[in-house]
């Protein structure tokens, strides 16, 4: 059986910690890894828009000495002719050693994994999950803070449709002493299934609020998110909710001096550009980390040890 990464819980905590350690070693010693995937091919199948995820996957494989193929829009693949995801992935499995795919339908990567022996990485499935962004987020937290436990973490924005939030909540719920604070409009609260699985079943406490400023001074990490326009059923709701939270320097006045501000990006307007120069803004460092953790993941799924 191929080893896939469909959901972040497919990896044990030990495996995640090991990936982080490898990524940190790659950052320190990139030359050691530069030919590790020579003659291996990564396919990126993106049925939905992407900048960072797709290009960091490609940059990761190129940095390992491998090569890349794929498409960046469903419209340029045979999907436009009516081909099923299963048939497309089965085809690409004949050409590539490993596949990263993003699809608007929740569960599409599981369906793909059933028809293909090539390792499949879920690079985001609809409003469901996004495990490689979570690995990026965890590497970022580890590099910013030196640990992954005993924090108060605030998640702010679109917690309903934000797949990066769902996966990161799942991942962090497995580390000790995480205190979760969910900040969102009532309409965009964290889905019940995520709360049940990640928090309630394990008796992990959490709080929910609509008011970011009232909790700001408690937070060690603030994970901002974009309101996911493409997942809304009507434009009116999006227009009403899109400006719910706009983080600016004034709102950070009472924040901890060692707060880390993360955002999976892209941002629309939920963090003003003048926050970028605040040393607590970690989201551009987070972008860079995405490449290294994906290098570590590709090595792991291909069974290559350096
Ligand atoms: C996120 C995604 O695609 O879910 N972006 C990313 O992969 N870095 C977040 C988003 O689109 O808002």
Reply yes or no on whether the pLDDT at 1 is more than 60.
Answer: no
**How far is CA 22 from each of CA 57, 82, 305, rounded to the nearest angstrom?**
16, 41, 10
Query: What spacing in Å lies between the alpha carbon of 267 and ligand 1's midpoint?
Result: 9
Q: In the CATH scheme, what is the code of domain 131-283?
A: 3.40.50.1370
**Prior bond to 157 cis, omega within 30?**
no
Atom of ligand 1 at shortest distance to CA of 228?
A: 12
Q: Per residue in 174-212, pLDDT tens? A: 999 999 999 999 999 999 999 999 999 999 999 999 999
Residue nearest to atom 12 of ligand 1 (CA): 226
**Catalytic status, residue 231:** no
| Diameter over CA atoms, the chain | 55
Q: Are 216 and 251 in contact (CB under 8 A)?
A: yes
- Out of 40, 102, 291, 300, the active site residue is 102
- The predicted pLDDT at position 95 comes to 97
**Pocket residue to mutate for ligand 1, from 51, 53, 57, most atoms within 8 A of Cβ:** 53
**How far is CA 294 from each of CA 3, 36, 138, 300, rounded to the nearest angstrom?**
15, 14, 12, 10
Q: Per residue in 133-180, pLDDT tens? A: 999 999 999 999 999 999 999 999 999 999 999 999 999 999 999 999
SS3 230: helix
SS3 99: strand
Radius of gyration of the chain (CA): 19
Among the four given CATH numbers 3.40.50.1370, 3.30.1330.10, 3.40.50.20, 3.30.2310.20, the one describing domain 8-128+287-302 = 3.40.50.1370
Query: What spacing in Å lies between the alpha carbon of 285 and ligand 1's midpoint?
Result: 16
Give the pLDDT mean for 249-278: 98
Residue nearest to atom 8 of ligand 1 (CA): 264
Report the distance separating Cα 237 and Cα 129, nearest Å: 23
Residues having CB closer than 6 A to ligand 1 are 52-53, 124, 130, 133, 163-164, 226, 264-266
Q: Per residue in 215-253, pLDDT tens? A: 999 999 999 999 999 999 999 999 999 999 999 999 999
Geometric angle at alpha carbon 143, from 140 and 146, rounded to 5°: 125
Instruction: Write the DSSP symbol of residue 229.
Output: G
Q: Per residue in 273-295, pLDDT tens? A: 999 999 999 999 999 999 999 99
Query: Is residue 39 left, alpha or beta, with left meaning phi > 0 and alpha meaning psi from -120 to 50?
Result: left
Atom of ligand 1 at shortest distance to CA of 225?
A: 12
- Out of 44, 53, 118, 140, the active site residue is 53
**Catalytic status, residue 44:** no
Geometric angle at alpha carbon 292, from 288 and 298, rounded to 5°: 140
Q: Are 155 and 180 in contact (CB under 8 A)?
A: yes
- The predicted pLDDT at position 2 comes to 60
- The predicted pLDDT at position 161 comes to 97
CA atoms within 13 A on the CB side of 184: 26
Domain boundaries, the chain: 8-128+287-302, 131-283
- Taking Cα atoms as reference points, which of 163, 187, 167, 179 lies closest to residue 244? 187
Asked whether the domain spanning 131-283 has the same topology as the one spanning 8-128+287-302, the reply is: yes
Reply yes or no on whether the pLDDT at 19 is more than 90.
Answer: yes
Question: How high does pLDDT run on average in the chain?
Answer: 97
- The predicted pLDDT at position 135 comes to 98
């Amino acid at each position: 059986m191929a080893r896939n990464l469909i959901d972040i819980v497919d990896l044990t905590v030990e495996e995640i910690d090991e990936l982080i350690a490898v990524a940190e070693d790659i950052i320190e010693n990139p030359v050691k890894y530069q030919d590790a995937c020579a003659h291996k091919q990564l396919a990126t199948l993106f049925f939905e828009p992407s900048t960072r995820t797709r290009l960091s996957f490609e940059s990761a494989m190129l940095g390992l000495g491998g090569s890349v193929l794929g498409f960046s829009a469903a419209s340029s693949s045979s999907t436009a002719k009516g081909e099923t995801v299963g048939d497309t992935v089965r085809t690409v499995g004949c050409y590539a050693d490993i596949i990263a795919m993003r699809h608007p339908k929740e569960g599409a990567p599981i369906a793909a994994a059933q028809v293909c022996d090539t390792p499949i990485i879920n690079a985001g499935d609809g409003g469901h999950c996004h495990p490689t962004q979570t690995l990026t987020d965890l590497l970022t937290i580890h590099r910013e803070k030196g640990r992954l436990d005993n924090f108060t973490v605030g998640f702010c924005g679109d917690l309903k449709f934000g797949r990066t939030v769902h996966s990161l909540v799942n991942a962090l719920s497995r580390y000790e002493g995480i205190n979760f604070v969910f900040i969102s409009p009532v309409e965009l609260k964290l889905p019940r299934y995520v709360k049940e699985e990640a928090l309630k079943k394990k008796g992990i406490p959490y709080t929910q609020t609509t008011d970011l400023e009232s909790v700001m001074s408690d937070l060690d990490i603030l994970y901002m998110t974009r309101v996911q326009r493409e997942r809304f059923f009507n434009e009116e709701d999006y227009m009403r909710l899109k400006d719910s939270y706009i983080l600016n320097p004034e709102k950070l006045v009472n924040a901890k001096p060692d707060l880390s501000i993360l955002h999976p990006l892209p941002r629309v307007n939920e963090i003003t550009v003048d926050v970028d120069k605040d040393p607590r803004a970690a989201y551009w460092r987070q972008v860079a980390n995405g490449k290294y953790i994906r290098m570590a993941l590709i090595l792991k799924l291909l069974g290559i040890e350096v």
